[in-house]
Every structure is written in structure tokens, then in C-alpha cells.
Structure 1
Amino acid sequence: MKCGLCFHHCDLQEGQTGLCHARENKAGHIVTNNYGQITSLALDPIEKKPLYHFYPGSSILSVGSYGCNLQCPFCQNYEISYDHGSMVRVEMTPEELVHQALALVDEGNIGIAFTYNEPLIAYEFIKETFIKAKEASLKTVLVTNGTITTTYLDDLLQYTDALNIDLKGFRQDIYDRLNGNLELVKTNIIHAHQKAHVEITSLVVPTFNDALEDMEKEAIWLSHIDPDIPLHITRFFPRYHLLNQYPTSIPLLKQMQTIALKHLHYVYLGNV
């Protein structure tokens, strides 16, 4: 059985799990092992997603599971991204998650954000939750690496209000080192922007994706979609396999911000 959810199209034998650690061939069907499996649950400021131009000052119930379909050596949430389920704290149905979100409305909650690990590998759970969230007049948010197959993304966009999409570099050779696909991410940014609010995050890792000319190309490309798309240029701190790497230079981030602002109206620095 081939899993068609993302560009890897994992060809899975009976009982085998895909690269994402979450989707498995069971009795000739691709099933989602992390369906409703929650590792992280917190009421976060919306700016932490980061979304600066979507209901600023509000909070959102942020939900994480486990698994990811990329292999980033600098992963900031590697404990759950590369987990196989040992970090699960609670199991929830879509109805229970929506009920939890509604119970927090008086505390400023506007909805549900799937984040922390790569949420879209749990496509089925997200779709069912978002349908019920919209019925309850809640806002729906995805924080994603953007590497889902575009047809699946288009399906989810019917029920999605906002996305923050990671753009991890602007060359395919950068994405090759992550086992990723730049053109798919670019296509999905275009599709998402047509139907929802979109902000972009680029984590800048020294010696990995820190070329000024790449940032300018990225900003120019985004400006051709919409110069009002907010871009978050984020500082790297040593994590996972890059513990011996140094944090990103703040002067370099400011240079990148200056370059990007030549083409985009809203460029923010994160983790500084």
C-alpha cells in the first residue's frame, strides 16, 4: 500500500509505518496511529504560533501529537517529532477537543491550533476536528512544514482560517538535507494564501540556510504572491543534532530583515 498523504508516497508492507512514524499499513489500509493522540496541550498567545496579523492579543488552544515527515537536524521539537507514541499524555476525540476549546473561551481562547510536531500527518483527525470546530464558531489554525500533498491541503483549507507555514530555505539542496521538497511547499503556500490567512516562518541556521541572497529571493517570491504576507525570520538555538552549532547572529538576522523589507511590508524577527 502506498500512502499518498505527502510527497514521500511511502510504500508500506503490512504492519510497516511510514517515515512520519504515524501512518501504518494495517490489513491493507493506511491508518493514522496518532489519531487523537495528544502529547502537548496548552493555551498559547496567538503570537507564539507565530501569527501576528490574525486576532492579535488573543489566545488559542494549541495541540501537538507525535511524528513528522521531514528530518531536520535542528528540530526544535524533536522529542515528539521523532517519537512513535511514547510521549502521548492523553487521547481525545474531535468532540472532546472542541469541548475543551469552548471551555476556554472565557479565558480568551478563539479556537484550536494544531502545532508543535508536524500536524498534517494526522490529516483525518484534523479534518474531523476542524469541521466540528467551525460548527462551534471556533477559529482553526495550522502550523505546518507545508509538505502535504496539495489535494489534501486543499481539502483542509475549506475548514482552516489561518496557517503559519515553515519555509526552511529557498534552494532545493537545502530541502534535500531535510528529506523535503521545496516546490511542494511553494505550491502549498500559494494555495493556502488563496483561501486562508497565511504567515511564513524561516528559521535561520548558521552555515545551513543563512545566505543573504537566498533571503532576498525568498522575499521577492513572497512579494509576488502578496507583499502583505508577514514573514517571521527566526533565530536558531542549538538543538537536537546541532548542539555544537552556535546561535544565529542577531546582526545577520537584522540584515536579512532589512533585505526582506525591500519587498515585503511586514518582516519580524523571532527568538531575539
Structure 2
Amino acid sequence: MMSLIQVASLLCVALIVQAFPSRNGWISVMASSTFSHYILAVLYARPKILSLGSDPRYRLPLLIVALIGATAYLSGFPIVIFFGLHHAFNEVYLLDRQCDSRELPGHAKVRTADLFTRLFVYFTIVRHHNHMTWIADELLFAGLAASSLAYVYLLICEQPSITRALRTASFQLIGLAMVAVSFFADIEFLMIVLYHVVFWIFYPLMKISKAGASAITRYLVATFGITAIFLLISPLSALPFSLTAEAFNHQLVVWAFVHITLSLPLSTAHPEWIVRWFRPRLREASQIGTAS
């Protein structure tokens, strides 16, 4: 299912980019849908936000996370790198939470190799971005080759079944295919952002669908409704109060730092130590279980 969502997301990105003759057109759609993604992430995480805000045990972790995000933004840390880390962690740990082999010996090594491979896939694809030119292409290719080989070796050791190994590695295979495409087509950083957002439009549908058709309808109406509102003030709009491309993109970057920072305490698509950091009760239960 995850691979189908990935392929569907890639197809949507291709269609959106092709639908607009001007670059500002698809970027406006990307930015508007990203703002929608930011807002819905907060709305759906409202219970967790209230829980974090009301529990004094979370204050220090939240302060540290806020300082990390603020420092990254104020210091001018490249968003292409900040987002890349967020994107890679999301994909690796989101898939890992659904992996039926995560309790097997050696799985942590597979996951680590998976993470490094995804990072190298991402950075290799965006290697022409102006904030990535400090890394030699040869280093990226070498890192991609080394991490991919390590991932394949460790995965085969963990998954003797070729079918299961291929199913587990499907995300990686598609990523490597996109690296190959990047040699013939210009895959921009913002296209990957658009892919990330489209993926996160599709992915929650699996969980929301369990609540019935009305829940799906509310989610889709909210998603596309908020996107439409932002399109009205985007550079694509002819309305007199629409923002310039520079102003719109600036807001996109500002709120990207906020969103990525907030995802650390709110999302489980991160390393276990981060997840446990914001779930003291889970940590305490684990300690009690160990003591007993």
C-alpha cells in the first residue's frame, strides 16, 4: 500500500508540474497545498498539543526543540537540508512502524542503512541546488553506492525471502529510480516538497477511512478548501490582495521551519528515543516492565 501511495504521489507531482506552463504556477499550487498540510497537521494533532502544553514534564523537551528550530531558522540553515532530514526520517520511521520484522535481531542495522540510503537518495537528487554545491557529486554518488549496498546486504540477511525483501525495499527502489531520472530531467527541491505534501494527503486516508465516509469527506474538503484559500492569495491569483512570489515563498520557508520543528514532539515518524522523549508515560511503563 505504501508503495502505491508513493507512486500515486509521484504521478500527481508530474501532472501538476505539467499542468502549468509557468514555474510560478506549479510552485503556487505546491505552496498552497503545503500551507494546507501545515494547518491540518496542527488541527489533527490538537489533542497531543493540548497534552504537551498541560504537562510540566514536557516543558524542557519542548524548550530544547523550540531552540533548535529557532536557531536553525535565524542562523539561515539551508531549508533544503533541514527539510531533507525531516523527509528522510518521515519515510524511514513511518514505514518502520508498520514493518512486521522490526523486532527481529539486526533490524536496527537495516533501518540505519535505510535511513542513510534515503538521505543520499534525496541529496543526490537535489545535488544541483545552490545550497548543495559544497558537496562534490562524487562524494554523494559514493555515499549512495555504499549505503545502498549495505542496505541490500543487511536486508537480505534479515529477509531470506526475495519477495519480502523486494516489498520492503520498494520505497528505496523507487527512490533510486528517481536518482536515475535526475540525470535526464531537472528534479527541483520544491518538486520533492510537493511530493512530500501529496504523499501526506494520501497517507492519512488509510486511518481516516476507518471512521467512515463522512470523516473522509471532511478531511478532503478541509484539505482542498484550505489549499484553494491560499491559492487566492498566491502569485497565481489575479486578485488585488495576492502576494508576490517572493513574499509567498518567504512565508513558506518560515512556516516550514515551524512545521518541521513541531513534528518532532507531535509525530511518531522519528527515532524511538525522540518518540519516547515526548511520551514519559510510555518510558515509565517500559522501565516498570524491565524492573519487574
Structures share fold, TM-score greater than 0.5: no
| Higher strand residue share | 1
TM-score by length of 1: 0.27
Larger RCO, structure (CA 8 Å, separation 6 or more):
2
TM-score by length of 2: 0.25
